[in-house]
Amino acid sequence: MSNELKENGMEMTDNGVVIAESREPLPAGVKLPIYMDNHATTQMDPRVLEAMLPFFGNVFGNAASRNHAFGWEAEKAVETAREQVAKLIGCTPKEIIFTSGATESNNLAIKGIAEMYRERGNHIITQVTEHKAVLDTCKKLEKAGYRVTYLPVQANGLIDIEDLRRAMDETTILVSIMYANNEIGVIQPVQEIGKLCHEKGVIFHTDGVQAVGKVPVNVQTDNIDVLSMTAHKIYGPKGVGALYVRRRNPRVQISEQINGGGHERGMRSGTLNVPGIVGLGAACEIAGTEMSVEAERLRSLRDYLKAKFEGALDYVHVNGDMQHHLPGNLNVSFVYVEGESLLMGINDIAVSSGSACTSATLEPSYVLKALGLGDDVAHSSIRFGLGRFNNKAEVDYVSDKLIDVVSKLRELSPLYEMVKEGIDLTKIEWAAH
């Protein structure tokens, strides 16, 4: 196997990843494979790990043990983390509930509010490009008799606030619209959405996973009532997250979804994951201090990547409004390139494609389709997620490699050739076969 790979210019790393073998010495700062998929998860910051380590060792108490020093020490660490999280999003520590991550936070928020306010109404509004943790939760509630409106997005990925206004009625109890999208990086008009919700007396929940720690998020000025977040997208550990639940103006109540010892003010029972929570707190603290410098650096790397593609290639389609956008995100369709071949050609770079593997087929991303992209264009799309540990040399390597692979694939593409010859593909009548 390894010889076979070598003959084809590839090799396998210790952890089984097949990568293209580099035939030339790599530039300084580049080590293969390159990780540029920071919306999927992030590498833990060594400072976060350092903060967590004692809690895997001799600081092992249960934060709910009220009658001895082991418990007090754990509780103290949890309360410090609660303050760190609260500070990052502008709320009070009491408004933070620790969870196992954003999937749980979204479930707790949406199901918990739906159940608690059932008497008031049964209508929920969300939008089509939400993460599955929101969409599938809403679908489940539909089966339980709730009515859910899925707002469309415009071609730039943003909702139209007037659509939201029109969708609201006297039975609406909850609006759940994400802060920033995990595929196309667009930032929704959260302040306006929250303002409208408050005018109408509707609770506003936002999935803040991709925004918190990356752009300034403030639940007061952003008019947010409930917000989900997770540690592993902000250089913290996996399996820990939080839910912000507003206590004043308005006081939001949530019906618990896990029953047990009454932890987290009764909203989320279960022994607290003290090392994880400490890690989340440390990640928030670092994000708060470094966010503005980091965002500027990532924005300029992202713009550089985009400019290189646009300078070297034609038919490069950038997805999502670039004015309201996460600094580290770039989602590009390399039109007239076959998606699977493209991914195979860049297998020493970790990015995400515009296709999702379902059980049997490769489905085009529902987010890209919601923007109006055809299946082929969606399949030819790549999401680049730049993060704290990426550098300019990597961006150069990635852009050069993509330009090279896309150019080669287009040389083989009859569609590209036809377009270059000025043939309008929409006017062609293809023979069925």
Binding of ligand PLP by 329 (CB under 6 A): no
Q: Residue 209 Cβ, how far from ligand PLP at the closest point, in Å?
A: 4
Q: Residue 267 Cβ, how far from ligand PLP at the closest point, in Å?
A: 17
Q: Which stretch binds ligand PLP (CB under 6 A): 62-70, 206-214, 251-259, 335-343?
A: 206-214
Q: Residue 37 Cβ, how far from ligand PLP at the closest point, in Å?
A: 11
Binding of ligand PLP by 38 (CB under 6 A): no
Binding of ligand PLP by 101 (CB under 6 A): yes
**In this complex, which beta carbon is closest to ligand PLP, that of residue 111 or of residue 410?**
111
E strand spans, 177-258: 203-207, 226-230, 241-245
Closest by CA position to 187, among listed 165, 163, 206 = 206
Interface residue with ligand PLP among 129, 149, 188, 230 (CB under 6 A) is 230
Q: Which stretch binds ligand PLP (CB under 6 A): 46-54, 64-72, 207-215, 263-271?
A: 207-215
Interface residue with ligand PLP among 42, 172, 182, 380 (CB under 6 A) is 182
**In this complex, which beta carbon is closest to ligand PLP, that of residue 368 or of residue 409?**
368
Map residues 118-137 to x or -, x wherever contact with ligand PLP holds by CB under 6 A. -------------x-x----
Interface residue with ligand PLP among 107, 122, 210, 413 (CB under 6 A) is 210
C-alpha to C-alpha distance for 311 and 346, rounded to whole angstroms: 20
357 is catalytic: yes
Closest by CA position to 350, among listed 18, 14, 10 = 18
Binding of ligand PLP by 107 (CB under 6 A): no
Residue with tokens 């502008």: 90
Q: Which stretch binds ligand PLP (CB under 6 A): 6-14, 96-104, 307-315, 348-356?
A: 96-104
Taking residue 413's Cβ as centre, other Cβ atoms within 10 Å add up to: 18
Taking residue 78's Cβ as centre, other Cβ atoms within 10 Å add up to: 19
CA distances from 300 to 28, 182, 297, 316, 395 (A): 20, 19, 5, 19, 11
Q: List the beta bridge partners of residue 241.
A: 99, 230
Among residues 138, 197, 284, 357, the one annotated as catalytic is: 357
Interface residue with ligand PLP among 48, 209, 278, 313 (CB under 6 A) is 209
SS3 364: strand
> Which residue's Cβ lies closest to ligand PLP?
101
What's 159's DSSP letter? Answer: P
Cβ-Cβ contacts under 8 Å for 329 (sequence gap 6 or more): 39, 184, 185, 302, 320, 383, 384, 385, 386
263 within 8 A of 112, measured Cβ to Cβ: no
Element (H, E) at 126: strand 123-127
Binding of ligand PLP by 205 (CB under 6 A): no
Interface residue with ligand PLP among 45, 73, 95, 207 (CB under 6 A) is 207
Closest by CA position to 29, among listed 401, 419, 395, 426 = 395
Interface residue with ligand PLP among 38, 42, 103, 149 (CB under 6 A) is 103
Q: Assess whether the previous peptide bond of 327 is cis (omega < 30° from 0).
A: no
C-alpha to C-alpha distance for 412 and 404, rounded to whole angstroms: 13
Binding site for ligand PLP (CB under 6 A): 101-103, 131, 133, 178, 182, 207, 209-210, 230, 241
Please identify every residue annotated as catalytic: 357
